[in-house]
Structure formats: structure tokens, C-alpha cells
Amino acid sequence: MGNVGNSLKAGFLGVKENQEIISLKAQIQTLQNELALAKSGVLTDSQEEALSRQLEGLTDTLGKQRGIHDVKISLIDRDNEQPRTVFPPLLIQERMESLRRHGQKTPVILIPQESGRYKIFDGELRYRSAKKLQWKTLKSVFLPDDEVSEDNSIFESQVITSIHAQRLHDLDLAFALVKLVTHDYPHFEGQQDRIPTLLNTALRRLEREGKSLLLSDIRLEDPTKQKIWLDDAGFKELEEYHLFEVILRLQLNPLSINSNVFPLLKLEDELKDVVRTDGLESSKARELNKLSASKLKVSEEEAIAIRRVLTKKVVDEKLSLKETKELILEQLQKGGSRDRLTKGNKIIKDINSLDISSISNKNELLELKKALKIKMDELNKLLKMN
């Protein structure tokens, strides 16, 4: 009888444990969707407070079930599935000050990976701030990977809400669009670099045919009307159709994406870094990206150095877009001056290389003298002007 009683007791405990696990999974699914909104910055203060309490509850539950661990920050990675990578420096500074004064009150929630590393489920701001403070570890609780949904709709939800709240940087939007297109249409896998070119080519054709003006209205239509327009647009390639379908589904204007968003994919790496660390505006980043080695008439190493100096000036002095454009133009004109100097040196080299002694015909010598006199007159006029 005692054995039966113990078995029943163990059975009831097993049922209770299973119910707790099911409840925890449901809680995680709900929190994932709400985190999608929070990370996009569209929750009200009261909603954020409610979400914060729920996360504290989840953290407490995980801590009791699996313990609280000190995890090396060097082993923690951000969630690359989150579209937002640009965090304002002021926000990080505020959290740094809080951690410095009060310490880490709440553990971050991490998902252990097979590699021995950890992915952030919640707590990226604390993670970024702790790194800035040069902390070695973070108090953490673990969330098993199999309890987290990998549904792409969560990522798309983050993108949509971020767009509507105007909180997603254009660089993040560019990468998010490429990811969504590739996920929805796997034939783009391995040829993501073609996506901006494909959009640009299709738009040029639509402009010639007078169809591009409709895009600002079509993006706001319901899916049925958008499909009718897509079917009648006359795309030359199926890939064009698929690309426009994703962009319009997000209620974005392909013209704006082509002009302002996709060009950021071609930003030099150091400019992308500044966008992510300092929140450099898209328009200024595009201007600074004009400082290429070919336009500056310098080596690639020199171009990188020039971009870094001017980018720092734009960020540190908080230059306006107008001031940034003037700064870039001034630098490019210096490159033009170097180009003109190079051309002058080439002409001098060509003249010095002339072997006049090889010309024996008197008429040819007279023609050469005449031609050189004309050039000397032009040179004298230029010298007088300068």
C-alpha cells in the first residue's frame, strides 16, 4: 500500500511539473509577441510596466527552476533575429549609470546554445551597457532553446511595428527587408546582393511606363487590391513580383526603399559601425559614403582615414545635413584639385618625352612650332587669370 501511495504521489508531482512546464511555455509564447512590440518601441508606458512585471515573473520562475548563473559576457551574443540593431547612445549611457550606481538587480534571460555560447532572449540593453562598463559577467537565468518559437511572423511583427513607430533605422530596415524576402522566397538565398539591383531595374521600367506614380497609393491598399496591381504591373521576372509583394505588404513605398533604404547596404563597414554605435542618421551616412577612394583620388587606406575623421566631426559636432553636405563637397573638391594636378603632371611628362630631334621635315617642324605657340598663348592667358 505504501508503494502504491508513493507511486500516486510521484504521479501527482509529475502532473504538476508538466502543468508548470506547459504554463511556462504558454507564458514564453505570449512574452515573445509582446517583446516584439517592446523592442520596436511601440508600447505605452503602462504596457511597458506590465511587460516588465511579466518578465520579472518569468525570470523568477526560471531562477527557481534552473538557478541564477554568473555568465561571462564574452560568451553572450545578441539575438540576430531581432531587426533593431541601432540603440541611441543616450539610452545606453542612462543604463550604464544605473548599473554603476545600483548594480544588476534583475538577471538577463539567455538561451543556451549547443556551441557553449548564449543568445539573449531579454536584456540586450543591460548587456550592451555592461560591456561598456567592462564588466566580466552578468547574472543570468536560462531558457531552453526548445521552448522558444522560431516563427518568422514574430520577426515580421517586429519589423512592422518598428516601421509604424518610426523607430527602425533605415539600415536595420534594409537588412530586415532582405531577410524577409529571402525567408518568404528561398530562391533569393545566395543572391541577396541582387535584391537592390532588381528593385531599381523594375522601378525604372515602371517609371518609363508611367506606373510608378501609383505606388504611393497601392502600398496602403488591402492585400487583394495589391495583388491585382502586382498581376497587372507587367514584371519581367518572377523575382521582381515577389520583391514588390513583400515591400507593399509592409505598406512601404518601393520608390523610397530604392532611394533611401537599400543604398545603405552599400555603406562602408566603418560607417555601418558608426550608425549602430552612434545612431548616425541615414541621410548623413549616405553623404559620408560618397568619400570613396576613386572620388577622392587617393588610396583605399587614405579614403578610410578621411571618412573616419569627417564622420567623427559630423557626430561630435552634431553637424546638420546641410553642414555635412558642405563638408563632403569641400573634401571632394580637394580630390578634384589633386586630379587636375595629376593631369598637369601628365602633360609635362608627355611634352618632356617628345623627341624633336627625330623630326627632319622642315614643314613638320614649323607646324609643331605653330602648335606649341598656340599652347603657350593659352598658358599665358591662364597664368594672367590666376
Q: Are 172 and 285 spatial neighbours (Cβ–Cβ below 8 Å)? A: no
Q: Are 203 and 254 spatial neighbours (Cβ–Cβ below 8 Å)? A: yes
In the three-class reduction of DSSP (H, G, I as helix; E, B as strand; rest coil), residue 251 is classed as: coil
pTM over 0.75: no
The one-digit pLDDT tens for each residue of the chain (386 residues) are: 444 344 333 333 333 333 444 345 445 545 554 555 455 444 455 655 665 676 677 777 777 778 889 999 999 998 877 777 777 787 788 999 999 999 998 898 888 888 999 988 778 889 999 999 999 999 998 877 666 555 555 566 556 545 554 557 889 889 988 988 988 888 888 888 899 999 999 999 999 988 888 888 888 889 899 999 999 998 988 999 999 999 998 888 999 999 999 999 999 999 999 998 888 999 999 999 999 998 988 889 999 999 999 999 999 999 999 999 999 999 998 865 555 545 666 677 677 777 777 777 878 778 888 888 888 888 888 787 76
State whether CATH 3.90.550.10 applies to domain 8-147.
Answer: no
Retrieve residue 181's grid coordinates: 524576402
pLDDT at 16: 38
Helix (H) or strand (E) run with residue 304 in it: helix 300-316
Q: Which long-range contacts (CB under 8 A, 24 or more apart) does 274-282 make?
A: 274/311, 274/315, 275/86, 275/169, 275/171, 276/85, 276/86, 276/87, 276/171, 277/89, 278/89, 278/315, 279/86, 279/87, 279/88, 279/89, 279/169, 280/311, 280/314, 280/315, 281/321, 282/169, 282/170, 282/171
pLDDT at 69: 92
Retrieve residue 359's grid coordinates: 623630326
